[in-house]
Every structure is written in structure tokens, then in C-alpha cells.
Amino acid sequence: MRVDNIAALTENLKQEQKTRPEVRTVKQGEATPATSHRALRFQKHQGAERWMAQVVDVYRNEVIREIPNRQVLDVVAEMRSLLGKLQDSRC
């Protein structure tokens, strides 16, 4: 990254911190409440044959968020199955 880009990014961060006080710089090794106990887990949805990411609370082993949502992938898998049945009946 070029030096002028770093200066521009630093200036943008300072401006953002003025307009939004909740935005702050996190120092290396510092844990924040929003990120201290979370991890990403990647999993392949078998029916939809697509990858999804899960944000997981490590201590409680609880899924906080899925991207894309499992229910959406379930619908995609069901639509794929129905489309396959429709094509088979036409042949």
C-alpha cells in the first residue's frame, strides 16, 4: 500500500470517529466484547451444494448467525429437487 493511501485511510478513520463515537481503533491483541468469543465456521449444505459461513460463540457452542441462512438453503435444495422431478416427468 502506498504512503499516501495510508494517510488517506488514517484521515478517513479520524473523520469516522468524529461522526460515530462507537468507532474506535482496536490495538493488536486487544479483545473487544463484540469479537472476543466468536469464530467462523464454514460448512457445505448438502442439499443445495453451497457453502455457508456460521458465526459461532466458542464458549456456548451456539450459532449466532449463518450466511446465507440455513432455511434459505433448505428452500433452494427443495426447489432443485422439485425442478428435477418436473424435468423427469416431461421426458
Q: CA-to-CA distance for 52 and 73, rounded, in angstroms?
A: 9
- Spatial separation of the C-alpha atoms in residues 69 and 73, rounded to whole Å: 7
8 or 41: which carries more pLDDT confidence? 41
Residue 55 CA to its chain's centroid (Å): 7
Instruction: Using pLDDT thresholds of 50, 70 and 90, give the confidence band for residue 67.
Output: very high
- Per-residue model confidence (pLDDT) at position 1: 43
**What is the mean pLDDT of the segment spanning 27-42?**
70
35 or 82, greater pLDDT: 82
For residue 50, give the 3-state DSSP assignment. strand
Read off the pLDDT of each residue in 2-23 and give the average, rounded to a whole number. 68
Checking if the pLDDT of 54 tops 90, the result is: yes
CB distance 47 to 74 below 8 Å: yes
Task: Give SS3 for 70.
Answer: helix
Which pTM value belongs to this model?
0.52
